Chains A and B, each alone.
Chain A
């Protein structure tokens, strides 16, 4: 490839890309002429380009690979787009003679019952929209996996801005095209449907020049508020496309037709001036909110004054000055009117907006006016209410004096605003460290020390902020949550941790102190009560794992007393129900589960597990699409089985473990790619297998032990470096080996246990500080030595025994 050839390629490629896909072939034929090599090269690059087209947020959703699947009456052909919450496929009706192409949009989240219901209602409204410029919603439903989907007409076209640039539409032509868009949006508004996510990508123009609006009302269906498992961070309030979102949308406030007026204003701004009205310095919800709500856009004419040659040329203007002059005046006023921060100060409807554009095109006076001084002053006062309040304490009658104090207020408020912004930024940063960042690195092996560092840093920030600013409840609440997070990393054995149980308890106690103070200040605040209960729960867990079940029970009862009223009031809130059931489960553990030091009250334990079961069954009924209640039910059943086994009720134990296994299987089938689900299934298979084996059903027990090993092998093969998977594999091999030895198959037993020991050695070597692994290895080696002895393999037996002794000596230090 020479630079010259590349430049030629670039020219043709770029030009082709600007044309709608349908026209490219003809264009290339014409342009490349006899140069077959050039033609082939550009075509191959275009293909590659199309394959790289992904939207803003690629998300590995459950619908990642559905191509070729049949959904309802439609055969999915190929993925054509992907957003944060949905994936779009090109599809064809598979049961009809005529082959109609459609687009199928599949939501990437499992729908709660509520989401699915909302979806159904909304679909009926949308299906009623019948307008030549609105893409028709044809059908919808839920896939076998429970993913809601919509079927729409498939449109081949270019986004309106690309179309206008590629066709080099003049300002006049752009306005006319835009009026078609307005008419369609206004039609939808009259049918009480607000789009909520208008942007060029949703406004396509076909090669024939027909405008087609996509995704009407879909944004509402995908509203994060309706999602299960929404994490309470500011990010949850993120609008789908911040560049086109109105202030009320980024603030998460009530949305009306005025939001569509605003988004249309942004689109028109870009169509005219060639750039967006607002620019974000960073991608963060706080930044979006700050810019969208506070920053005033330049008039389009001022923005156009800096437009590059291409922008001007695409609008048929010779230079930026000419373009700017064309936009100055009425068009500036029209666009800025649509972009006003306060919904009630924008055009009252899209039709009013369109009417003003029509008046402009007809050289009539327009309704939009430059914002008046009074308007700007009011806005200023509202934006800087606190500072102005100070200024207005000095009542002034002279206009000059007023102007001066206004100026001073402006300076004061600017400093205050800067401080506030800094505070918010830091708060936000700490927040994101604690939640987003921590979640992102949590599953990385070996990330525990890094997580601790990160969370401690966040804690430091929050502490310093808290000292600087005094009591700010939201900050204090985050501080309390941060301590819990630090505690998890220090010692919560549920996830990777540093094994510091004392540290865990101390952090939870600090969190409790803060939360208690907050609850005293504002007794009814549910968030604070929840943090307090979480702290109690964590303290209890730390106590339980440190061998103090009695203390744990006291704290768990406190947590339950806090959570019960919350759970009752928010019967539909899954998270609250799960939290309450977790308290009962842990109470059961403390009462009598053999996995921890307990009070020796198995009857009490059963009672508590059953309370958890009752809560979870209700939650399962209310959220059938959500697997979490079922997963937790499975755990309760398994624990009930354990207690019964402990009480020598083997029949009951097997019964409950069978229940548990069935539930774990359902969960694992619904989450085939989820390693945790697979691990839990493996654990239960082994558990039930061992019970069956011990109670004499050796055939079935053995089969389950083998199944359990198969899962362990599969997981470990998929991620060979994962220490947890290796642990599982060693455990599975070990118990299978023991069963084999008991049934007299000594050779196989030795082979399996030998492999288990090898794996355990590997894991222990990689994690030398972990005493538990060493202890387990030593125990395994002793059993292995006995097995070898019985088989007469004295040398290897002796080696194993020596190794076990060496490990025990290490542990004794």
Chain B
């Protein structure tokens, strides 16, 4: 296991206990790990190259946490935090590619359970990112649900566990946010 793994496990414990500052320390660690993994996939900047962030997040989880056998079931929390880091990784990648928020052509994204990031359309990702920021202004919880679902690949149940709300609430938030995002993407 990579050296950062132990620290990450430790930090996850602290996040769970609500220790102040632990999330702040955890996100950059995860960010680095995820960026490293993503770079492996995206190094060859060729067309048609896609990346499924949720697969990366799960891979990171396997690498960093599962082997260390955490005494509690922290998967949902890990994924919840990793989802945010993953979103950041992708947004940064898209920005580095100098992507513009697309005008005119409708993004090719479908908001199914998990987003697929394509090297060819980094602008699509920025579009989703921007919409999520907007959504967060009037419904932070809903924006977070979407983030966990599409960047972390969390199931309804896991999302509920990570956010400490009921699965039914997650389902409702997800249905509405998906409807709103799909509509707004269509407008762009």
Known: A3-B139, A6-B139. A445 touches B44 (CB 8 A): yes
- Closest B residue by C-beta to A56: B113
Q: In whole angstroms, what is the CA distance A6 to B178 when docked? A: 14
Q: Mark A24-65, 1 if CB is under 8 A from B, else 0.
A: 000000000000000000001111110110100010000000
Q: Mark B107-137, 1 if CB is under 8 A from A, else 0.
A: 0000110000000000000000000000001
Across the interface, which residues of B come within 8 angstroms of A44, CB to CB?
Answer: 183
Known: A1-B138, A450-B40. A46 touches B179 (CB 8 A): yes
Contacts of A680-734 to chain B: CB distance below 8 A: 719-722
Across the interface, which residues of B come within 8 angstroms of A279, CB to CB?
Answer: 157
Q: Does A784 reach chain B (CB closer than 8 Å)?
A: no
Q: Does A13 reach chain B (CB closer than 8 Å)?
A: yes
Residue of B75, B111, B176 near A13 (CB, 8 A) is B176
Across the interface, which residues of A come within 8 angstroms of B48, CB to CB?
Answer: 444-445, 719, 721-722
Known: A445-B47, A719-B48, A722-B48. A45 touches B183 (CB 8 A): yes
- Closest A residue by C-beta to B153: A283
Contacts of A226-285 to chain B: CB distance below 8 A: 275, 279, 281
Q: Does A446 reach chain B (CB closer than 8 Å)?
A: yes
Nearest-CB distance from B153 to chain A (Å)?
Answer: 10
Q: In whole angstroms, what is the CA distance A445 to B118 when docked? A: 13
Find out whether the CB atom of A49 lies under 8 angstroms from the CB atom of B47. Answer: no
Across the interface, which residues of A come within 8 angstroms of B180, CB to CB?
Answer: 45, 48
Find out whether the CB atom of A14 lies under 8 angstroms from the CB atom of B111. Answer: no
Q: Does B175 reach chain A (CB closer than 8 Å)?
A: yes
- Closest A residue by C-beta to B168: A310
Q: Does A344 reach chain B (CB closer than 8 Å)?
A: no
Find out whether the CB atom of A52 lies under 8 angstroms from the CB atom of B179. Answer: yes
Find out whether the CB atom of A54 lies under 8 angstroms from the CB atom of B47. Answer: no
Residue of A14, A445, A721 near B172 (CB, 8 A) is A14
Q: Does B166 reach chain A (CB closer than 8 Å)?
A: yes
Across the interface, which residues of A come within 8 angstroms of B50, CB to CB?
Answer: 444
Find out whether the CB atom of A445 lies under 8 angstroms from the CB atom of B168. Answer: no
Interface residues on B, range: 20 to 34
Q: Does A603 reach chain B (CB closer than 8 Å)?
A: no
Nearest-CB distance from A86 to chain B (Å)?
Answer: 18
Contacts of A1-31 to chain B: CB distance below 8 A: 1-3, 5-7, 10, 13-14, 17
Find out whether the CB atom of B183 lies under 8 angstroms from the CB atom of A48. Answer: yes
Nearest-CB distance from A162 to chain B (Å)?
Answer: 10
Q: Does B68 reach chain A (CB closer than 8 Å)?
A: no
Q: Does A635 reach chain B (CB closer than 8 Å)?
A: no
Known: A279-B157, A450-B40. A308 touches B166 (CB 8 A): yes
Q: In whole angstroms, what is the CA distance A310 to B137 when docked? A: 26
Across the interface, which residues of A come within 8 angstroms of B96, CB to CB?
Answer: none
Nearest-CB distance from B39 to chain A (Å)?
Answer: 12
Find out whether the CB atom of B49 lies under 8 angstroms from the CB atom of A52. Answer: no
Nearest-CB distance from B169 to chain A (Å)?
Answer: 8
Find out whether the CB atom of A310 lies under 8 angstroms from the CB atom of B166. Answer: yes
Across the interface, which residues of A come within 8 angstroms of B112, CB to CB?
Answer: 54, 58
- Closest B residue by C-beta to A2: B138
Find out whether the CB atom of B138 lies under 8 angstroms from the CB atom of A6. Answer: yes
Chain B CB within 10 A, most for which of A45, A47, A48, A446:
A48
Find out whether the CB atom of B183 lies under 8 angstroms from the CB atom of A445. Answer: no
Q: Does A311 reach chain B (CB closer than 8 Å)?
A: yes
Across the interface, which residues of A come within 8 angstroms of B4, CB to CB?
Answer: none
Find out whether the CB atom of A51 lies under 8 angstroms from the CB atom of B182. Answer: yes
Nearest-CB distance from A70 to chain B (Å)?
Answer: 27
Nearest-CB distance from B126 to chain A (Å)?
Answer: 21
Contacts of A718-760 to chain B: CB distance below 8 A: 719-722
Find out whether the CB atom of A308 lies under 8 angstroms from the CB atom of B138. Answer: no
Q: In whole angstroms, what is the CA distance A45 to B182 when docked? A: 9
Across the interface, which residues of B come within 8 angstroms of A58, CB to CB?
Answer: 112
Q: In whole angstroms, what is the CA distance A445 to B186 when docked? A: 30
Residue of B44, B168, B172, B186 near A446 (CB, 8 A) is B44
Q: In whole angstroms, what is the CA distance A638 to B166 when docked? A: 63
Q: Mark A56-91, 1 if CB is under 8 A from B, else 0.
A: 001000000000000000000000000000000000
Across the interface, which residues of B come within 8 angstroms of A445, CB to CB?
Answer: 44, 46-49
- Closest B residue by C-beta to A44: B183
Find out whether the CB atom of A52 lies under 8 angstroms from the CB atom of B178. Answer: yes
Can you identify 8 A-B contacts, CB atoms within 8 angstroms? A3-B138, A10-B139, A10-B172, A45-B183, A52-B111, A281-B75, A445-B47, A721-B47
Q: Which 4 A-B pairs have the closest CB atoms?
A: A721-B47, A446-B44, A49-B179, A48-B183
Q: Other than A46-B179, A49-B176, A311-B168, give 12 A-B pairs with Cβ distance below 8 A.
A: A10-B172, A10-B176, A13-B176, A17-B175, A44-B183, A45-B179, A45-B180, A49-B179, A52-B111, A275-B167, A308-B166, A721-B47
